[in-house]
Structure 1
Amino acid sequence: MGDNVVAVKITEDNTLRNSKYVKGVQYLVENGVKQIPDVYIQPPHQLVNLTKFVRSNEIPVIDLAGLNDDSRSGVLAGIKNAFDRWGFFQVINHGVPVRVVEQMMDVARRFHELPTEEKMVHYSAYPSEPHRFQTIFNLEKQTVLEWRDNLEQKCYPPPEDDNWLKNPIGYRDAAMDYSREVRKLAKVLLAAMSEGLNLSSDALEKCLGDEFTQIFLINYYPPCPNPELVLGVNSHSDRGALTVLLQDEIRGLEVFNEGNWFEVKPLANAFVINVGDETEVLSNGIYKSVAHRAIRKIGDVARITIASFCNPTLEAKIGPIAELTEVNPPLYKEHHFSDMVRYVRSRYYDGKSGLDNFKLPNKS
C-alpha cells in the first residue's frame, strides 16, 4: 500500500475527516466501547468463506541460508514455486538480527499505546507527510472502516532527522536500523527472484528506478467487542514491487487461494513475503500478486504487524521485461508507477483492480 507523494484531492468537509473516528479504534477501546459503531460493520459478502487451515495447506517456508551454499538452485526453485502456488511465503535465516526486530516491535507497541492526543499530533490525511498516524485509509472513498490504526513512515530515501518521531524514545534509531536491514533482505529477494526468471540478478531491481523507495506501516489491531463483524484490513493486493511483513504471534493474516481464505500462521523469527502488482507486470504474469486481508480474532491482546513496502520510484516506467515477452506476448500496458498509485487511491481497496486496469486486451 505504501508509496511516495502523489497529489490526492481530499474534501475539507468530508464527514469522516471531521468525525471522532479519525482518532482511531484504540481510542474507542480505551473509552469502553461495548458494541462497535455501524461504520465498522462489514457487509456480509466481505465476511463469507470462513478461514480454512489445515497443515497441508500452510504457505511454504523458505530457508534463505541455502542461497549461500550448494542448495542455491533449490532455494530459487522453491521461491518460484511458492509464488506460483501461493503468491506468499515465509523466510527464515534471513539475516535480520533478532535484536533489531525486537527493538522495532518494542517502539511499535509503545507508539500505539501512547495517549491519543500524543498520537494525534502526527495525524494527517495527506500521503506527502514523512510520517503520519492514520486510521482511515481513504477519506474520499472509504464507507466502511477497518478495525486498525497505523503509523506510516517513509524510510527510503532516508528522511531528515526531524522527520523521524521523537516519541517514543528510541524510535528513530530502532526504525532506521530496522529499515536498513529490511532493505538488505529485499535486495537479496529481488536478486533471487530475478534469477528465478532466468534473468541477471539485478534485473528486477533495475526496473524499479534509480533506487527503489521504502515505506513501512506499523499496523495495530486492538481487541474488538464484535470481531466477527469487522476486518482489520480489507481484501487487496499490494500495488508495489515487494512486501516484507513482520507479524507478532497473534494470528490474523489471511491469503486468498483456490477460492478460500487461508491463515498465514505466525512463525518465530520469520518474515512473510509477497510480491506486488508491479512485479506481476514486470514478470509478465509469472510472479502473481495475491489478494490478502487481516481479520480480528477474539482475544484481549492487540495484534501488531509491520509491513515494509519496497516500491518503484514514481517516475519508474513499469512494463513486462522484454526477455519475458519473447515467447509469451506482453499481458500488461507500460505505465509509470505514479499512474498505478493514482488509480488505486481513486478507488480505495478493490481486490486487484489496480492491476486489472493495466492489462492489455486478450487477443485470443
Structure 2
Amino acid sequence: MSTIASALAASAAVNALPVINLEELGDSEQHTPAHSRLAHIARETGFFYLEGHGISPEHIAHLEAAARQFFALPAAAKQQIAIAQTRHFRGYTGVGGEITRLQPDLREQIDFGEELPAVPPSPETPQWWGLQGPNQWPQAQPTLQSEILLWLDTTRAVAQRLLKAFLVALEQPATALNQLVASPHNHRLKIIHYPGQGSGQPDQGVGPHKDGGLLTLLLQDQVGGLQVQTPQGWLDVPPRKNAFVINIGEMLELATNGYLRANVHRVRSPGAGVSRYSIAYFFSPSLHAHEVPLLSLPAHLASQARGPESDPLNPLFSHIGTNALKGRVRSHLDVAQRFYPQQYAEHLAALASLDPVQKEAAQAYA
C-alpha cells in the first residue's frame, strides 16, 4: 500500500464509528477484553454501531415498512392521534412541531412509550407522573399497536443486555442498575420521517442535543444525515444495514459521574425529493426509581471521571421525573401549554431572561 493510501485508510478509520458485536460481549459477568474495548469506545467516542443484537432483518424490515405506511396516511388520519391531545406526550407531531435549541425540527414523528395505566392527577401527585400512561393508536392502521408493543419488548431485551455489558466493563456488579430500570418501565420509542428540504432552505432535521435517558438504540434507513460532535468537528454517521447506532444518554453520564459522556448529535435534513426514516428507542430510568444512583467506580476509573456536564439552558437533575418532564416541556410547547401551564410559564420566563449572546449560543449549540 502506498504512503498516500495508508494515510487515507488511517484517516478513514479515525473518522468512522467503531462496531461492537453484542454476541462477543455475551451474558457473562466476567470482565473480558471485549468489555475493555466497550468501555474505551464509550468513553472516547460515545457513539458506536451495534451488531450481533439478535433481532432478525425480517423483523426490522417489517417495522420500517409499518413506519412508512403510517407517514403515508392522509394528514387528517395522522392528526387523529396528535400529541397535543394527551398529557402523556404520546402521539403524532407534524413537521416543525418539536423544538430543539429554540428552533423547530423539520421532521414528523410518532412518540410511543410503555403501555401503562395513567396516574390520576391530584394536588398531591407530582406532575411528572403525567409522563406515564397509555399510547394513542391510529385507527387507520390497526396493526401498528401490536407491532410497536412487540418492538418495545424486543428492543428492551437488547438494551438490558447492553447495559449489563456496560456495568461489567466498568467493573460493577451486573445488577447494579436493576432497580433503576425495573418495571414499570419508562422507555420510549420515536418513529421519525425527515422530509427533504430544497437548496437554501433550513435543514435542521433535529438540532444539536444530548439524549436524556441511559442508552439510545437507533435504526437508520439508507439515507444519511446523522452527525455526532467530535473535537475535530461534526462526524457523519453513515447508515449500516440492520445495525443499531448506540449513544449514551445523560442519565448514564450522571450515574458514572461523567466517566461515560453523552455526546452532542444532530440530524441534517435530506435534499429535495428525498425522505429519511429512522426509529429511535430510548432506554430510560423508571419513574418509580426516583433518583439516579452514583456508581462506585474503582479508583483507576473514578480518577478519570470528569463529572456530569450540564447545559445551562437544559440543567441536568438527578431526580428522574423532574428531569424527564423538563425535557418534554421544552420540546413540546403545545402539550406543555395545555397540560403543564406552570412548567410552560417557567420555561418561557427562562427564555425571556436570555440576553442576545446567550440566545445565539443556545441556537448554535455545538
- TM range, smaller chain: 0.7 to 0.9
Match 2:23 to one of 60, 65, 69? 65
Q: 2: CA distance between counterparts of 1:91 and 1:127?
A: 34
Q: Which residue pairs with 2:80 in the alignment?
A: 121
Comparing 171-180 and 109-118, the one that deviates more: 171-180
Give the 5 Å matches for 1:195-206.
Answer: 195-206=168-179
Q: Which residue pairs with 2:43 in the alignment?
A: 84
CA 1:267/1:163 → structure 2, altered by over 3 Å: closer, same or farther?
same
Q: 2: CA distance between counterparts of 1:266 and 1:278?
A: 26
CA 1:334/1:305 → structure 2, altered by over 3 Å: closer, same or farther?
closer
Report the alpha carbon displacement of residue 137 of structure 1 after superposing the two structures with TM: 4.9
Normalised by the size of structure 2, how large is the TM-score? Answer: 0.72
Q: 2: CA distance between counterparts of 1:212 and 1:161?
A: 12
Matched AA of 1:66: E
Q: Which residue pairs with 2:104 in the alignment?
A: 145
Contact residue 101 and residue 208 of structure 2 kept, 8 A: no
Q: Deviations over 1:34-89 (max 9, x none)?
A: xxxxxxxxxxxxxxxxxxx9443111111112123999723212221111121111
CA RMSD of aligned residues (A): 3.2
Q: 1: CA distance between counterparts of 2:275 and 2:251?
A: 32
Contact residue 156 and residue 215 of structure 1 kept, 8 A: no
Contact residue 51 and residue 244 of structure 2 kept, 8 A: yes
Contact residue 227 and residue 297 of structure 1 kept, 8 A: no
Give aligned-pair identity as a percent.
25
Match 2:250 to one of 246, 271, 277? 277
Q: 2: CA distance between counterparts of 1:98 and 1:158?
A: 32
Structure with more of its chain in helix, by fraction: 2
CA 1:119/1:104 → structure 2, altered by over 3 Å: closer, same or farther?
same
Q: 2: CA distance between counterparts of 1:103 and 1:184?
A: 19
Contact residue 59 and residue 264 of structure 1 kept, 8 A: yes
Comparing 291-300 and 266-275, the one that deviates more: 291-300
Q: Which residue pairs with 2:149 in the alignment?
A: 176
Q: Which residue pairs with 1:36 in the alignment?
A: none
CA 1:102/1:188 → structure 2, altered by over 3 Å: closer, same or farther?
same
Q: 1: CA distance between counterparts of 2:290 and 2:135?
A: 31
Matched AA of 1:147: L
Contact residue 83 and residue 89 of structure 2 kept, 8 A: no
Give the 5 Å matches for 1:109-258.
Answer: 109-125=68-84, 128-129=87-88, 131-135=90-94, 136-138=96-98, 144-155=103-114, 157=116, 163-226=136-199, 229-258=202-231
Q: 2: CA distance between counterparts of 1:127 and 1:276?
A: 26
Report the alpha carbon displacement of residue 335 of structure 1 after superposing the two structures with TM: 2.8
Contact residue 255 and residue 292 of structure 1 kept, 8 A: yes
Comparing 324-333 and 110-119, the one that deviates more: 324-333
Q: Which residue pairs with 1:42 in the alignment?
A: none
CA 1:320/1:284 → structure 2, altered by over 3 Å: closer, same or farther?
farther
CA 1:277/1:126 → structure 2, altered by over 3 Å: closer, same or farther?
farther
Match 2:294 to one of 297, 300, 321? 321
Q: Deviations over 1:265-322 (max 9, x none)?
A: 1111100111110100001111110000000132523100011111112343334524
Q: Which residue pairs with 1:48 in the alignment?
A: none
CA 1:176/1:129 → structure 2, altered by over 3 Å: closer, same or farther?
same
Q: 1: CA distance between counterparts of 2:77 and 2:27?
A: 49
Report the alpha carbon displacement of residue 197 of structure 1 after superposing the two structures with TM: 1.1
Gaps of 5+ in 2: 1-10, 119-132, 309-315, 333-366
Q: Which residue pairs with 2:276 in the alignment?
A: 303
SS in 2 for 1:306: strand
Contact residue 216 and residue 280 of structure 2 kept, 8 A: yes
Matched AA of 2:60: V
Gaps of 5+ in 1: 1-52, 350-364
Q: Which residue pairs with 2:60 in the alignment?
A: 101
SS in 2 for 1:58: coil
Contact residue 154 and residue 214 of structure 1 kept, 8 A: yes
SS in 2 for 1:213: coil
Normalised by the size of structure 1, how large is the TM-score? Answer: 0.72
Q: 2: CA distance between counterparts of 1:156 and 1:162?
A: 6
Q: 1: CA distance between counterparts of 2:27 and 2:216?
A: 25
Q: 1: CA distance between counterparts of 2:117 and 2:159?
A: 16
Q: 2: CA distance between counterparts of 1:79 and 1:113?
A: 39
Q: 2: CA distance between counterparts of 1:101 and 1:95?
A: 11
Matched AA of 2:79: M
Report the alpha carbon displacement of residue 212 of structure 1 after superposing the two structures with TM: 3.6
The count of corresponding residues between Structure 1 and Structure 2 is 297
